[in-house]
Every structure is written in structure tokens, then in C-alpha cells.
Amino acid sequence: MTASKSEVFALLSQFNPWWMNGHFAHTPSWKRDIFGQILRWLEQSNGGRALLLTGARQVGKTTLFLQAIEHLLSTGTPPANIIYVTLDHPLLKIVGLDALLSLWREFVPQCEGVEYLFLDEIQESDQWQTWLKLQVDFQKQRRVAATGSAVPLIAEGQESGVGRWQTLRLATLSFREYTRIRQIALPPIPDLPGWEELSEWTPATFARTGEAARPLVAHFHEYLLRGGFPRSAIEDDIPLAQQLLREDILDRALRRDLTAWFGVRRVQALEQLFLYLCLHGGGIFSFPEVCGRLEINRPTVASFLDILEAAHLIYRLLPSGGGKQVLRVRPKIYLTDPAIAPSVLLQGKSLLENPDNLARAVETAVIQHLFARHHSGASSALAYWHGKQNREVDIICRQEDAWVPWEIKYRSPQHTGTGEIKGLIEFCQKHTVKQAFLVTRDITDFSAAPLHGTQSLLLKIPAPLACYWS
């Protein structure tokens, strides 16, 4: 051990102040929507599986764990039975999990009841999946929760983890969460229990809801500029918020974390690819074009895409059904937060003045919200559709045994007419589709009507409301 036991325990105590005083400084009272799922895991009476919380750096995973610890303390769990370890601290990483837990019990005797282990950035620990498997199988008095900023912690441990842990994916803040974390005062906006209920609304209800939601528009545009990473979201100064996000993405994630986690040596080439995605995200990804422009071979580009997806920086959509077989290796790539591109490219508020860039940011926001709502870890849960004459549907979501199509047209109302949504019409003609969704720009462009030439109902939803309700 590079430090004495007393020195290591002193460091551990700083992260676990409840051992000394029974409590710690209050965490933010506001909680992410996913916190309810964490509470259900805590309250499982039969022990069972461990919990893996995955998400990008600075997305709020640690805060969620501290809020879970605060909940346990407030409901009577003995402070001595809770430990929090951040494994990206160099000393704690070197000491190792087993030695840290032995040290915990040497200095803090266990009380009666369940032990709770909260482990931040578990991918920093060697052979973490084997260690976690043994904990779940043989330490029945322990409940283990871990975070990770890299998806490989799912893939690498998938076989041994079946039935032993559940995984929660934490996206960046939704638009509704953004309004809450910024404590934005909004007029009453009707809740939406389910998308299906929109088909039962009257034209008057659509009109009233659209008018009530009008104040959302300005805040939605600021959401596109600040993004859904909590640290930048709460920053009042938008240029500073974008600077913070740019530093987190380029300096910490690309140049430091991915080098450490995946052994990336061609960091400049990875950065070039990421900048390309910031400029061209959302379109069908052409390997020959990218390889030619960036002078990077195809295996390297493919490897970089895997790494960026693993680090929660991109979403990758594959085509579903129809189309030529070659399209199955041509994904559509989206960034995981709408503010990443304007921040990395130093666009500032000029984003709002460029129709193409603004439309791309809105499409990214809608995709992010649909991923957070529907994505369960299986790539088949979300896809895009490519039909004849290069007609497309931006995203289709698997709901039970049906696909639900979404098309995003964040432009003037004339861009949402029948002639502009031929891909959506063709998809609905070829498949049994009850409802199709068209995301629009004008807050009053909100309605439900039969989709021309199909048996489907077309629901037009303004983007601010679509993201607020998702």
C-alpha cells in the first residue's frame, strides 16, 4: 500500500462524513426523474441484483448516489453501513476495492442490517465485472450500486452480469428537467399521461394547450444553447456555459478519459472525427466520404465510433426494414445533447440565427428525448427508415409489436405539408401504423388529423412541447 492505513482511512472519511456525524451536507432538493427507479432498487426487500448507472461525465451520476445515501440515512439506515468510494481518485484506485472494504470494516464496525456500497466510476477498477459478480453471488448482506462513464462496462460484463445487475442509462437533462433545475416559472401546462390520448383531444384543447405553452419557446432555445449537462445548464452566462461544456467534452472526455479508458493514441484523429460529427450530425454516415476527408482508414473510423458511443457522446441509429442491404452498415449519427455542437464549434447565440444549424440542434434534442424515453439498451428499440427515392423517416420507436414513426421539421409551417413528409406517408402506407408524429416549429402548429393517403393519424406537435412531455 502506497499510504498508511490511517492516511487512506482519513481520505475515505472525507468522502463518507456520515461515519462521524451521522449525516452530511444536504444534496440538491431537486432530483432527476430517474431517481424514482433508484429508490425502487433501494427498497427491494429481497436483495437481488446490483445496480449500474451509466452516463457521460458530468451528467449527474454522483449527485444521484449522494441523494440515495441521504435517503437511506433519513429513513434509518445506520451510517456505518453505507460507504461511498470514487474510484477515479488515484489513491483509492491503487488501493483497490477489497482493501478499501477491509479498511472500512477495520475502522467502522458494521451495525445490524444491510450494507450499502456506492462505487463511482467502477470501470477504473481492474476486473470489476468479476468482482461485482462475486459480491452479488456470495455477499448477500450487501447491496452494490456503481456508476460508469463508459458503456463497455455493460458489454464486457454482459455474460457474467445476466441476472446479477440491472443497468440504468442516464441521459443529459430533459427539457422539463432543465426548466426545473433552473427554477423557471411557467404557466400551467397540461400534463400528458400518454401520447395516445392526444388523438382524443378536440381542436379547442390543442389550441388552448399551444397558447399555454408559448412561454416554453424562448426557454427551449436557451436549452439548445446551454444543453442538458447540469453544470452548464445552471450557468446564467450562455458563453460561459458553452465554454464549460466545450472543456468537458474536448479536454476531459476526448483528450483525457478516452485515452485512459480505451488506450486511444491517435487523439487528434479522434478529435477530427468528432468535429466532423458536430458539423454533419444527423445525416446518413458515409464511411468512404469520412475516410477520404479525414484521411483515416475505415477500421479506425469504426473503432472511433464505437468509442464515442461507449462514452455516451453519440447515438447511433441503424435502418430498420426495407432498403438495400448495404444501408445496414450506414448508420445515422447524432450527438447526445443539442448543445454539444454549438459549444464545441463556438457558435454561441448565432445558432439561433442559422436555420440549418438550429434545425439540426432541434433534431438532436428530439432524438435525445426519444432515446431517454424508449431506449432499453437494445439497438432494435430505435431506428430510422429509408425507403424508395431516398425517402426517410427520422426515427421510429418500437412500442410493443409496432413501430411508431417520428419526423422532425423545425422550419416554417409550409415545410410540414404533404409534399414535405413523403417518407412518413410511404412508411405508414407500408406498415400498420396507428399514429405518426410530426415535430413542428410553430407553437400553434399543433393538431391531430388523418394522414393523407394512409390509415394513420398524424399528430403534429411543436418541438418545445414534444421535448417537455418526453
202 and 156 fall within a common domain: no
DSSP H helical ranges for 139-266: 152-155, 158-161, 175-181, 203-212, 216-226, 230-233, 238-246, 258-262
95 and 208 fall within a common domain: no
292 and 423 fall within a common domain: yes
CATH number of the CATH domain containing 123: 3.40.50.300
123 and 260 fall within a common domain: no
295 and 422 fall within a common domain: yes
131 and 206 fall within a common domain: no
pLDDT at position 281, please? 84
Strand partners, 144: 117
- pLDDT category, 387, cuts 50, 70, 90? confident
138 and 183 fall within a common domain: no
28 and 58 fall within a common domain: yes
155 and 197 fall within a common domain: no
Q: At CA 172, angle to CA 236 and CA 176, rounded to 5?
A: 70
297 and 188 fall within a common domain: yes
**Buried/exposed code over 403-414 (b: 16+ C-beta within 10 A; e: otherwise):** bbbbbbbbbeee
The share of the chain scoring above pLDDT 70, in percent, equals 91
Q: Let me know: does 144 contact 164? Beta carbons within 8 Å.
A: no
User: What total of structural domains would you count in the chain?
Assistant: 2
Residue 143 has pLDDT above 90, yes or no: yes
Q: How far is CA 126 from CA 60, 96, 121, 147, in A?
A: 24, 9, 11, 15
Q: In this structure, what DSSP letter does residue 236 have?
A: S
Query: What is the pLDDT averaged over residues 68-75?
Result: 94
Identify the domain containing residue 455 by its residue range.
176-469
Residue whose C-alpha cell reads 483515416 in the numeric block: 296
Last residue within a domain, chosen from 147, 170, 193 = 170
pLDDT at position 197, please? 84
Write the CB contacts of 202 (distance below 8 Å, at least 6 apart in sequence).
none
Q: How far is CA 219 from CA 86, 227, 399, 440, in A?
A: 35, 11, 30, 16
462 and 329 fall within a common domain: yes
- Render pLDDT for 57-68 as a digit per residue (tens, 0 to 9): 889 999 999 999
- Render pLDDT for 276-326 as a digit per residue (tens, 0 to 9): 999 998 888 999 999 999 999 999 999 999 999 988 999 999 888 644 554
Residue whose C-alpha cell reads 417520428 in the numeric block: 406
- pLDDT category, 150, cuts 50, 70, 90? confident
- The model carries a pTM of 0.90
Last residue within a domain, chosen from 153, 170, 187 = 170
- pLDDT category, 145, cuts 50, 70, 90? very high
- pLDDT category, 46, cuts 50, 70, 90? low
Q: Which of 111-125, 199-213, 390-404 has the lowest mean pLDDT?
A: 390-404
Last residue within a domain, chosen from 170, 201, 222 = 170
160 and 186 fall within a common domain: no
- Render pLDDT for 233-254 as a digit per residue (tens, 0 to 9): 999 999 999 999 999 998 888 8
- β-bridge pairing 142-148 and 392-399: unpaired
Q: Which of 157-161, 168-172, 392-396, 411-415 has the lowest mean pLDDT?
A: 157-161
